[in-house]
Amino acid sequence: MATALITGGTSGIGAAFAEALAARGVDLVLVARDEGRLTDSATRLASTHGITVDTLRADLAVRADVERVAARLEDTTRPVELLVNNAGSGVRTPLVSRDVASHDLGFDVMCRAVLVLGGAAGRAMSARGSGAIINVSSLQSLFTTGSYAAMKAWVTSYSQGLSVELHGTGVTVTAVLPGWVRTDWHARDGERRSSVPGWLWTEPADVALAALRDSARGRVVSVPSRRYRVIGWLARHLPRATVRQISGRISSSRRDSPPDTSPPTASPPTASPGTDAPTRTVRTEDS
């Protein structure tokens, strides 16, 4: 049976990936910082879908923890067929801020960890001749709205570069560029969330399903939902001065609020029907 490793796999989009893959009978390795949430998610997914769920508690801002996850990806006795690099953190600190702590955190989690884990997965998968890597980027990567957008632009570019390097090996790489997604991370924004038109919001499950579909088709860039594909096309084809002007308007709506440097959190999705499915192994690895 195939195995997928998901970083940030207990909340938001990561939890949606876990649910979608578990429903397909894919065994999981969930990576997150919160041991209690890991245990709860693993127990629920295993009992609901009858799969094996391993957990790996790791803080991807800590290099030793990233190396442990990389070692799991390269473990030839327990091959991973799909890597979902999903873990992230919000970065709204101004680029001119003297305090760069949130920028450092963002670089470590959303750039360096993606680089290290993508490389580990690429080596292991190409040696076997098959596999898939999904890197969760953002539609903001097409705009110029600050540090977060710049980091996600790196993820989008890196994913395409990795796809080029792995061409012909049987390993696919897909960058996923979602827009606004209904998670508790955005729910904490309060007034900022209420200012976003309802039609722009997407559901985590829809993002995960679109990403998995496009990954299976070998697409290198996936933009979930037709409306965001249109916005993405405009962002790529409008004059850059216009894109910067639009980006400035988006950014200005955030300047009156204090920076949010904490990682996103979200409650695990509710269990799907079929809770009488046989329970398989839940294993936990710790630092």
Backbone angles phi, psi at 284, to 5 degrees: -125, 130
What DSSP string runs through the chain? Answer: --EEEEETTTSHHHHHHHHHHHHTT-EEEEEES-HHHHHHHHHHHHHHH---EEEEE--TTSHHHHHHHHHHHT-TTS--SEEEE-------S-TT-S--HHHHHHHIIIIIHHHHHHHHHHHHHHHHT-EEEEEE--GGGGS--SHHHHHHHHHHHHHHHHHHHTTTTTEEEEEE---SB-SHHHHTTTHHHHTS-GGG-B-HHHHHHHHHHHHHTT-SEE--SHHHHHHHHHHHHS-HHHHHHHHHHHHHTTTTS----SPP--PPPPPPS-TTSPP--EEEE--
Residues 178-193 as b or e (16 or more Cβ within 10 Å = b): bbbbbbebbeebeeee
Q: Tell the residue number behind the tokens 């799991």, with chain if given.
A: 72
Q: Give me the catalytic one of 148, 158, 185, 228.
A: 148
- Judge whether 158 counts as a catalytic residue: no
Provide the annotated active-site residues.
148
